[in-house]
Structure formats: C-alpha cells, structure tokens
C-alpha cells in the first residue's frame, strides 16, 4: 500500500483580483490556489516541470471532485493544505483543502487526480524514479 505524503502548507491572501462582483473568491480561483500547492509539492521534492517538459512529459489533470463549502472574502488569509497519494506509477491524487486562517474553517476541498503523459503520444507515462521513491 502506498503512503500518503503531506505537503508543505501554502499561505495566500485574497486580493480583489481573486473575487467576483460580490466580493467572494470566484469559484475557479480555488483551482488556481490548489494548482499552486501541487506545483510547490513538486518543487519541494526536486521534481522540475521544466525538465519534464524538455523530455516532452507533462502533468495533466485527469479528474476533479470539488466541494464549495463557504466563500472566502477579500483580504482573507488562507491556508492551502495538500496530501498526496500515489494511485499508480503514472497517477497521483491530491486531497486539497482551503481554510480561512483566523477561524480555521474549511472553505473548499477537492480531490484532484493528475497523471503524467507523453506529449508525443498523449498516453500516460510512468513517473521517474525520483518521484516513485517518495512513495516507497
């Protein structure tokens, strides 16, 4: 059984540009916040997306399940937390949560599955050993 890895929390502040006309975080921006957290996980673990791209390999989102619980507002301080689980040698699932820092209230949660694909074939490609070793 593969282990779950808790990634470093990402801290964000909600700016005007993140909000809709009601002053709440626009729903699609949670996906951006979660993307930043996934990218930081890779960086923190020495996985260079630039090097992968040079090898014609990229991570793509395969599936998203998202729950909008309560809206974040302008100037809220947020924490994005992620836990990563290896599904196979070519797929990872990120369990991600956005919380408001003052209340610690969960605002949004998501299960996001990503896979590594070969850009030439558009087919899944096994992770390199550096990434696989994280889960051993």
CB within 8 A of 128, min separation 6: which ones? none
Does 44 qualify as catalytic in the annotation?
no
CA gap 109, 93 in Å, rounded:
13
What single-letter DSSP state applies at residue 70?
A: S
Which residue is catalytic, options 9, 20, 44, 76?
Answer: 20
DSSP string, 75-102: T-EEEEEEEEEEEETTEEEEEEEEEETT
In the numeric block, the tokens 């196979």 are attached to 88
Sign of CA dihedral 3, 30, 62, 118: negative
Active-site residue set: 20
């Amino acid at each position: 059984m593969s282990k779950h890895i808790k990634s470093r929390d990402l801290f964000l502040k909600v700016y005007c540009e993140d909000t809709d006309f009601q002053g709440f975080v626009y729903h699609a921006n949670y996906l951006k916040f979660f993307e930043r957290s996934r990218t930081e996980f890779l960086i923190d673990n020495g996985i260079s997306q630039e090097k992968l791209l040079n090898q014609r390999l990229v991570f793509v989102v395969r599936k998203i399940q998202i729950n909008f619980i309560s809206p974040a507002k302008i100037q809220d301080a947020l924490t994005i937390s992620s836990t990563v689980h290896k599904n196979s040698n070519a797929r990872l699932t990120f369990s991600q949560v956005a919380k408001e820092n003052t209340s610690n209230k969960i605002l949004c949660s998501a299960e996001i599955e990503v896979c590594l694909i070969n850009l030439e074939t558009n087919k899944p490609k096994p992770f390199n050993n550096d990434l696989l070793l994280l889960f051993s």
